[in-house]
Amino acid sequence: MSESGKEKAKTVDEWRAQLSANDFEITRNAGTEPAFTGIYCDTKTPGVYNCKCCDAALFDSQTKYDSRSGWPSFYAPINEECVVPHEDSSLGFEFRNATGRGELRQM
Please determine, for residue 5, whether its predicted confidence score (pLDDT) is greater than 50.
Answer: no
pTM: 0.74
Domain boundaries, given as residue ranges, for the chain: 12-97
User: In whole angstroms, how far apart are CA 84 and each of 18, 20, 58, 79?
Assistant: 23, 24, 11, 10
Please determine, for residue 3, whether its predicted confidence score (pLDDT) is greater than 80.
Answer: no
- Which of these CATH numbers, 2.170.150.20, 3.40.50.10070, 2.40.70.10, 3.20.20.80, describes 12-97? 2.170.150.20
